[in-house]
Structure 1
Amino acid sequence: MNKRTELPTVENSSNFNRVAGATCQVGTTLENLKAAVCGETGASAKYAACAKLAKEKGYEQLGRLWEATSAAEQVHIRLEAGLVEEIEPGYERPTADAPELEEIDLNLIASANGEIFETSDMYPGFIAKAQEEGNDKAVQVFTKAKLAEAVHAELYLQAYNNIDAADDDSYFLCPGCGYIEKGSAAPEKCPICGAPAKVFKQF
């Protein structure tokens, strides 16, 4: 993700349109926050399982990618569930069933497809509803997640194309928004939320 002179928002970005034929059901912002938490919980569990399988089969770098994205989804869960808990203090966070996995290459495609759905369908719909309701906190949280998911999808497709040509790069996770950068070092600051390099977690 190229660095911009200003952090991306709905107002200054051109990639917040919702895909034609969108299938995600949009409810109230509170309902959408709960749905997002549920979806991210399932994704985090699936990616953790994919990481374990990849390492068992000798794909160490792919395992680290899935570990990083699993942790990134936990960032989104924390942000989204936090807003739900402000409204419903007794809210119980959902759990996820054990995921069904396929071969490593197909798991990469499934992971990319899931992230593309979130960044092009689910989150744009949720952001529009939060704007309609004047819920600025939800707009900001959904925006961070939407932008990070697009990067995750890119990383999965890159990994798919290079499945038999791994390199020595690490993955660096921003704990503020779930952005992940592939390379030899964390970025000077997160291109999505501005968090400094020192807070990034290396995988």
Structure 2
Amino acid sequence: MAGEEFEYEYLYKALAKYANEHQYPLAQQAYEGAGAAEKIHAAILKEAANVKTYEGTTVYVCPICGYVMAGDSIPERCPVCGGPERQYEKF
């Protein structure tokens, strides 16, 4: 979990800032999206550390950016990259 937290709290923010300062808007957007995905990964890992099983919980992963969603209610579009729900991989 510490690695995930480091990535979204420091690494991707620094990379996005660098990309912005050097006028690479697509790189900035990619780093910001990756940071958002890592924040969700960290939250899911923290939750997983406190439960013994995920029985009954459906997990969806956006194949475009790796954003992870858990539960029965999922958005029509990925909140990080905008990928459509039909592309989500169900686990």
TM-score relative to the length of structure 2: 0.90
Contact 1:186–1:200 (CA under 8 A) maintained in structure 2: no
In structure 2, distance between residues paired with 1:122 and 1:133: 17
Match for 2:24 among 99, 122, 135? 135
Contact 1:174–1:200 (CA under 8 A) maintained in structure 2: yes
SS of equivalent to 1:177: coil
SS of equivalent to 2:66: coil
Equivalent pairs counted in the alignment come to: 91
In structure 2, distance between residues paired with 1:165 and 1:135: 43
Query: What is the percentage of aligned positions where both structures have the same residue?
Result: 33
What residue ranges of structure 1 are gaps of 5+ in the alignment? Answer: 1-111
Q: How does 1:1-203 map to 2 (within 5 A)?
A: 112-162=1-51, 164-184=52-72, 186-203=74-91
Displacement of 1:199 in angstroms is 0.6
Contact 1:172–1:185 (CA under 8 A) maintained in structure 2: no
Displacement of 1:186 in angstroms is 4.3
Aligned letter for 1:139?
A: Q
TM-score relative to the length of structure 1: 0.42
Aligned letter for 1:179?
A: Y
SS of equivalent to 2:6: helix
What residue ranges of structure 2 are gaps of 5+ in the alignment? Answer: none
Q: Aligned residue for 1:16?
A: none
SS of equivalent to 1:188: coil
In structure 1, distance between residues paired with 2:41 and 2:59: 11
In structure 2, distance between residues paired with 1:129 and 1:192: 20
Displacement of 1:157 in angstroms is 0.3
Displacement of 1:185 in angstroms is 6.0
In structure 1, distance between residues paired with 2:54 and 2:87: 26
In structure 2, distance between residues paired with 1:146 and 1:116: 9
Aligned letter for 1:143?
A: E
Displacement of 1:169 in angstroms is 1.1
Displacement of 1:193 in angstroms is 1.8
| Largest Rg, 1 or 2 | 1
Aligned letter for 2:61?
A: L
What RMSD over aligned residues (CA atoms) do the two structures have, in Å?
Answer: 1.4
In structure 2, distance between residues paired with 1:166 and 1:195: 25
